[in-house]
Chains A and B, each alone.
Chain A
Amino acid sequence: MTPRFRRLAETGRPAVRFSIDGQAAQALQGDTLLVAMLCNTGAVRCSEFGGERRAGFCLMGACQDCGVWTPQGERLRACTTYVSEGLEVLTAMPALL
């Protein structure tokens, strides 16, 4: 999927490597996880009830539409979490039970 966001400035920051659904991805230090993901792909999750892809909405921690998961089952709100080196994120919740 093509990246959604476009970097306009501040590209001289150190690189950060992370992964999305097991695929290697690159971001810059200081990116939120949402920005990091959307500079690599076009969406962060799938809507529970409509099936359409979602890519965040408010970017300020209010809409709760950008929740992603770690393989360990931890929930991250992508717009208020900074990306970190080695972070693995999943766009769907790992099986619960």
Chain B
Amino acid sequence: MNPNDSDVLIVGGGLMGTTAAFFLRRRGHAVTLLERGLVGQQASGTNFGNVRRQGRFLPQLPLANRSREIWGQLPELIGHDVEFLPTGHIRVCYSEAQADRLETYARDARPYGLELQMLRGEAMRAKFPYLGPEIRAVSWAPRDGHANPRLAAPAFARAAVREGARIVEDTEVVRVEKTAGRFVATCADGTTYRAAVLLVTAGAWGNLLSEQFGEPVPMSVHGPQMAVTEPVPYCLVPVVGASSDSIEEIFYFRQVKRGNIVMGGCARGPAYPDARRAYVLPGSPLKQFVQLERIIPALRRLSIIRVWSGIEGYMADDVPIMGPSAKVDGLFYAFGFCGHGFQLGPGVGDTMAELIDTGRTSVPIDPFLIGRFA
């Protein structure tokens, strides 16, 4: 067999592609993954690192639940814990109206197996005494947590390679076509790779490939606005996120074991997919400082030492693209996760592998089908 031929060709080496490569190998498929840069460099490596089910679009919860199970098994599965900590996650809010919405969500999420606890008043202050006086209510997800996005896709990639996957970095795919029942990807240096199945996990560039197969999708790109503090003694256990209608108040932060506090939100920044650059607006950290002090006043004494951004693909309906092509047999997609894909990564890879292997998925993915844009 030509070494450039495989059962499944994956284009895009972020978290979705590398997890799919891993799980496909476990199901015995020959896999080749092509990545333009280095695995995990784009949205996968620059996001906030939330491993969060709370707050998701409800039909996404089965997928998120499945993913959460895998997060807890990473050391046995891929030999690396990706610094996953099941610290719990709290959503805080500033108004009674928003608290009611959180309460409604908690009620509606319960049938999906997501147990959330609402806390207000005395009970809230007793459990989370460090919260600022403006906080009205907390929705607490004890089994959510966080992990290290810089490490996740590379760890899955190494595990996939150990299982026998072929991962080719620094390889730009310029064209993909289906001829004589097989997909042929042509790279910038002229090399071609072929497979009966193609999985597009190209993130913010996914629509450039879906377009080539007559399935354009309405995607926009934005840069997350991230910052991190110096390390301080570990003391903040849960991930904290503010729930609000106003983007300036949508702010989230988490403390890693080494002590740095990673934070993000308050704005979306400019991203340039052609140049593969994205920027943090100078005003963003200043806005974040305001929100940080509102939520946990004691954290005002910290300093940030770095900001960064990345390139995230957002679908117009804020729902990702996942599942089979509506037009081409053997073509599958998993991209455009709207800035909320990190927690889903292991579940997406596992589900796409199941779909490609068996033709079915044990978690529903109907809401994510690309055919909705036809």
Contact = CB atoms under 8 A, between A and B. Distances in A.
Contact of B130 (A64, A75, A93, A97): A97
B113 interface: no
Interface in B280-336: 296, 298-299, 301-303, 305
Interface string B253-289: 0000011000000000000000000000000000000
Interface in A39-83: 48-49, 64, 67, 73-75
A95 B298 CA distance: 10
Size band of the interface chain A makes with B: 10 to 19
Nearest to A48: B231
Contacts of A93: 232-233, 301
Nearest to A93: B232
A73 B232 contact: no
B30 interface: no
B235 interface: yes
Contact of A48 (B259, B296, B302): B259
A96 B231 contact: no
A61 to B, nearest CB: 13
B236 interface: yes
Contacts of A64: 230, 305
Size band of the interface chain B makes with A: 10 to 19
A20 B233 CA distance: 20
A97 to B, nearest CB: 4
Contacts of A74: 301
A75 B301 contact: yes
A49 B232 CA distance: 11
B293 to A, nearest CB: 12
A97 B235 CA distance: 7
B143 to A, nearest CB: 22
B259 A97 contact: no
Contact of A96 (B258, B298, B303): B298
Nearest to A67: B230
Contacts of A97: 129-130, 235-236, 296, 298
B298 to A, nearest CB: 6
Contacts of B129: 97
A48 B303 CA distance: 16
Given A48-B259, A96-B232, A97-B236, 6 more contacts: A48-B258, A49-B258, A74-B301, A75-B302, A93-B232, A93-B233
Interface of B: 129-130, 230-233, 235-236, 258-259, 296, 298-299, 301-303, 305
Interface of A: 48-49, 64, 67, 73-75, 93, 95-97
27 contacts: A48-B231, A48-B258, A48-B259, A49-B231, A49-B258, A64-B230, A64-B305, A73-B298, A73-B301, A74-B301, A75-B301, A75-B302, A75-B303, A93-B232, A93-B301, A95-B235, A96-B232, A96-B233, A96-B235, A96-B236, A96-B298, A96-B299, A96-B301, A97-B130, A97-B235, A97-B236, A97-B298
